[in-house]
Amino acid sequence: MKRALAWLDMFFAAWTPKGLYTRALIIIIAPILILQSILALVFLDRHWQVVTSRLSVATAQEIAMLVSAYDWAKDKGPDAGGRLAEMARDQLNLSVRFVPGEELPIARSKPFFALLDRHMSEEIRYRIHRPYWIDTVGSSAHIEIRVKLDGAVMHVLAPRAQLMPSNTHIFLVWMVASSTILLIVAILFLRNQIRPIQSLADAADRFGRGRPAPSDFKVRGAREVRLAAQAFLEMRDRIERHVEQRTIMLAGVSHDLRTVLTRFRLQLAMMPGAHIESLKRDVDEMQEMLEDYMAFAKGASGEQVQRVNVRQVVEEAAAGAQGKTFKLEVRQDPLMVSLRRNAFKRAIVNLVSNASRYSGTISIRALRSRGWLTVTVEDDGPGIPADKREEVFRPFHSLNKARNQNVKATGLGLAITRDIIRGHGGEITLGNSVLGGLKAVIRIPLQPAAD
């Protein structure tokens, strides 16, 4: 039983629509259609049964009357049959003729849908008590009935519309029209209910990418949607206050520490001795570490999104990779997208610096395809084992076995890079390069309206 339920869950998960709008439409429309279909089947079946039975009774009574009239008038003269045929045509809308000496044909097999055939046969059998033959499928417009009389066979052609209900299409038209009206009302209603949810999702997505909310965004919709929108606005305000306070604090800490390092440099510049150079290098290393720590703590907060030429940013980022073989390929040049310029540049600088430490050849490719900006940085260095590639994104983590142990680093470069890329709503992954080393792939989704 559990396996069957699990299979049903997988089936519905794979084949049911994923959007809330479509699912809500199905929830509203499916029961209506099922109910109307059941009612239509029940009503039509009952309607056809009752109406066909009553029409068959009336036609069978008319045929029985003609049989009785023929038996009474057959001795009145040779033209009695002709007068009965005229009366049937004028008064009963039946085509009747009498064929002397004819026999009934062989009975045909009953049709699959034998509603009319069954009712008509029962009524003729009940009211006439004579051999008969009936054909309800031979002609599309008429039904033929033959009755064995004394010395003759009476042929009767009755219009099919006279024996079957002819107003069924009115009910079908009413059902389709009502379903269409219900569908239109449901679509209009759901569009008004789904639009606030879509606006909230768009505002949350733009806030996650550091972009301002749409100008028309406001708290609206159903009560639950309003509560969610209000909670989002309060959360956004708290996050912005926290980021602002952290930025102010980091700016103060950075200023104070840089002031201290500047005094160190001035004092070392005035001190004689050969050992001073090593102290200067230590101060420079402290300065670099401080910049890395501050960049990691600050992230990309405070910087606004702007239109950026990707080629120009990549070239500036790769300027520090001197003495290396550098290849750059940018498609759709100029490739203009909306990014946080300084943060994106720092992410590329970290990847290029990381590659330049351990390799001699660096290749960068950038392209825009299907709403995504993809930047690939490859090198011919030793690479990183597949089972260690996720660990290198952890702050202050370094893989000494995979890279040169003599290279000094804070272990924050890739952590900062991932934080920046995720701040743009994207992701960075590591893999094997065709050059033999490491391949870093950055993918950032782009907003069509902005880009």
Residue-level pLDDT at 402: 42
Q: Give the contacts of 26 (CB within 8 A, at least 6 positions apart).
A: 16, 17
Residue-level pLDDT at 451: 43
- Residue 442 pairs with which residues in a beta bridge? 375, 428
Instruction: Give the tens place of pLDDT for each residue, 46-71.
Output: 766 777 777 788 888 888 888 888 77
User: Has domain 303-445 been given CATH number 3.10.110.10?
Assistant: no
Query: How many Å apart are CA 182 and CA 29, to the nearest integer?
Result: 8
Q: How far is CA 139 from the centre of its chain?
A: 51
What is 18-102+109-166's CATH number?
3.30.450
| Token pair for 451 | 């880009």
| Token pair for 145 | 């009935």
Q: Give the contacts of 380 (CB within 8 A, at least 6 positions apart).
A: 359, 360, 361, 433, 435, 436, 437
Q: CB-hemisphere CA count at 13 Å for 379?
A: 21
Residues of the chain short of pLDDT 70, as ranges, are 1-2, 4-6, 8-18, 47-48, 75-78, 108-115, 137-140, 165-169, 209-210, 273-275, 289, 292-303, 320, 323, 396-411, 447-451
Highest CATH level, class, for 219-298: mainly alpha
Show me where the domains of the chain are located: 18-102+109-166, 219-298, 303-445
Instruction: Give the tens place of pLDDT for each residue, 407-421.
Output: 455 567 788 888 888
What does the mean pLDDT of the chain come to?
Answer: 78
**What number of other Cβ atoms are within 10 A of residue 434's Cβ?**
9
| Token pair for 372 | 């995504």
Q: Are 330 and 366 in contact (CB under 8 A)?
A: yes
**What number of other Cβ atoms are within 10 A of residue 239's Cβ?**
12
* Alpha carbon separation from 280 to 1, 255, 258, 408 (Å, rounded): 74, 20, 14, 16
Q: Which residues of 241-261 are buried (b: 16+ CB within 10 A; e: fewer)?
A: eeeeeeeeebeeebeeeeeee
Query: How many Å apart are CA 255 and CA 258, to the nearest integer?
Result: 5
Residue-level pLDDT at 443: 92
| Token pair for 284 | 């420079």
Q: Are 356 and 321 in contact (CB under 8 A)?
A: yes
Q: Over the chain, what HEC string results?
A: CHHHHHHHHHHHHHHCCCCHHHHHHHHHHHHHHHHHHHHHHHHHHHHHHHHHHHHHHHHHHHHHHHHHHHHHHCCCCCCHHHHHHHHHHHHCCCEEEEEECCCCCCCCCCCCCCHHHHHHHHHHHHHCCCCEEEECCCCCCEEEEEEEECCEEEEEEEEHHHCCCCCHHHHHHHHHHHHHHHHHHHHHHHHHHHHHHHHHHHHHHHHHCCCCCCCCCCCCCCHHHHHHHHHHHHHHHHHHHHHHHHHHHHHHHHHHHHHHHHHHHHHHHHCCCCCHHHHHHHHHHHHHHHHHHHHHHHCCCCCCCEEEEHHHHHHHHHHHCCCCEEEEEECCCCCEEEECHHHHHHHHHHHHHHHHHHCCEEEEEEEEECCEEEEEEEECCCCCCHHHCCHHHCCCCCCCCCCCCCCCCCCCHHHHHHHHHHHCCCEEEEEECCCCCEEEEEEEECCCCCC
Q: Is the pTM higher than 0.85?
A: no
Q: Are 128 and 71 in contact (CB under 8 A)?
A: no
